[in-house]
Amino acid sequence: MTDSTTAGGPPPGDDRPNPSARRALRRRRARSVAGTLVSLALTLLGLLLVTFIIGRVMPIDPVLKVVGDRATQAQYDAAYQAMGLDQPLVVQFLRYIGDVLTGDFGRSISTGQPVAQDIARVFPATVELAVLGTLIGVVIGVPLGVMAAARRGGIFDQVARVVALIGYSMPIFWLGLMGLLIFYGNLGWVGGPGRQGIIYDGMVPSVTGLILVDSLLAGDWPAFQDAFSHIILPASLLGYYSLAYISRMTRSFMLEQLSAEYIITARVKGLSERAVIWQHAFRNISIPLVTVIALSFGSLLEGSVLTEIIFSWPGLGSYITRALLSGDMNAVLGGTVVIGVCFVLLNLLSDILYRVLDPRSK
């Protein structure tokens, strides 16, 4: 998504001053925004196409899911037509794209409800989990990475390295099972599977879909506590993974900064080590760090599938997986688009941050 070299445009870095430089620059910016949007649209279209094709070659019959085991051939045929499957593939695809453009993602055959409505229900659950996971990753991962870099090669660095590598190496579904067993089953410290204790089900009015936020908005403190006790374990697991990534990246960014000349200068000037690290080096890595955090957030959004399954978490990942296995392609397409859009947007965001904030790339 970074190439601004659209056909015919001047090569990047060609910033020689000339009379119409400003206008050209403005034009190029406009074109680059347009170009980005076009390539964004193309990416999403491709995403849809690939998903669509996979859905059509899949040896799972969506009609059966609708009509069930006992259906007669006539009932089957009626449903087949009602779902538009008798049309040529191209027509089906174009029709689908047309519907999506008008905001209609179709109806899910495994829930019987509009996909848009389903996603509005399940996506916040995933977002809530990913946000908290990333938060944990940042709060612990960043200081860990900074301190590891500051004491490069020391015991602390080694320990941080092992902690991170363990995070990378754990099969999360296994860790989840074990965590549930220990912290819920044996110790009773955290809430069980699901987003809420069952008796809280439906007691907090849904405003944002994020139960933690909704329960606070409603002023329902026990519901908040309950929701928190349920989310903390899966979020910590995701957070551990995120921590591993963030701390490693932080460390390498910091190492790069700490070997830079201005740091040596600062040290020579007699600044305290603490000030050197936090006020100078750390401030300079904040931009790439934001990118890393955004990417990590993105990977939690998509990577929570297994965690959601283990924790009976009613999120987008388990929604898509379930839909996939029952040939519910409208749901799969809708879900994939949402995650795809998020991913593309996060990438775009970090690109923009880079361009806007990083003085070197100007």
Report 47-76 residues binding other proteins (CB under 8 A): 47, 50-51, 54-55, 57-61, 64-76
104, 140, 216, 302: which one binds other proteins (CB under 8 A): 302
What distance in Å separates the CA atoms of residue 39 and residue 320, rounded to the nearest whole number? Answer: 25
Segment near other proteins (CB under 8 A); pick from 18-26, 84-92, 97-105, 181-189: 181-189
Site for other proteins in 323-342 (CB under 8 A): 324-327, 332, 335-336, 339-340
Segment near other proteins (CB under 8 A); pick from 14-22, 243-251, 274-282, 351-359: 243-251
85, 163, 170, 216: which one binds other proteins (CB under 8 A): 170
What distance in Å separates the CA atoms of residue 134 and residue 27, rounded to the nearest whole number? Answer: 38
144, 287, 320, 334: which one binds other proteins (CB under 8 A): 320
Q: How far is the CB of 21 from other proteins (least distance, A)?
A: 26
- Return the structure tokens found at 191: 């809430």
Amino acid, single-letter form, for residue 218: A
Collapsing DSSP to helix, strand or coil, 114 comes out as strand
What distance in Å separates the CA atoms of residue 208 and residue 213, rounded to the nearest whole number? Answer: 7
Q: How far is the CB of 185 from other proteins (least distance, A)?
A: 5
What distance in Å separates the CA atoms of residue 243 and residue 144, rounded to the nearest whole number? Answer: 9
What distance in Å separates the CA atoms of residue 87 and residue 102, rounded to the nearest whole number? Answer: 21
Q: How far is the CB of 20 from other proteins (least distance, A)?
A: 27
For other proteins, the closer CB: 25 or 329: 329
Beta bridge mates, 114: 107
How far is Cα of residue 77 from the mean position of the Cα atoms in its chain? 39
Q: What is the chain's percent helix, strand, coil content, to nearest 5?
A: 75, 0, 25
- Return the structure tokens found at 50: 């690939």
For other proteins, the closer CB: 10 or 275: 10
Number of residues that bind other proteins (CB under 8 A): 111
17, 88, 103, 171: which one binds other proteins (CB under 8 A): 171
24, 78, 216, 271: which one binds other proteins (CB under 8 A): 78
Under the criterion CB under 8 A, does residue 137 sit at the interface with other proteins?
no
Q: How far is the CB of 204 from other proteins (least distance, A)?
A: 10
How far is Cα of residue 159 from the mean position of the Cα atoms in its chain? 28
30, 91, 139, 162: which one binds other proteins (CB under 8 A): 162
For other proteins, the closer CB: 185 or 275: 185
What distance in Å separates the CA atoms of residue 287 and residue 264, rounded to the nearest whole number? Answer: 21
Under the criterion CB under 8 A, does residue 13 sit at the interface with other proteins?
no
Q: How far is CA 215 from CA 43, 205, 311, 316, in A?
A: 38, 8, 21, 21
CB atoms within 10 A of CB 257: 20
Site for other proteins in 188-207 (CB under 8 A): 188-194, 197-199, 201-203
Task: Kindly give, in sequence order, each residue whose CB lies less than 8 Å from that of residue 298, ignoring residues fewer than 6 positions away.
Answer: 342, 343, 346, 347
3, 15, 86, 358: which one binds other proteins (CB under 8 A): 3
Binding mask 89-108 for other proteins (x = CB under 8 A): -------------------x
Site for other proteins in 274-293 (CB under 8 A): none
Give which of 252, 250, 336 is closest to 293, Cα–Cα: 250
Site for other proteins in 254-273 (CB under 8 A): 255-256
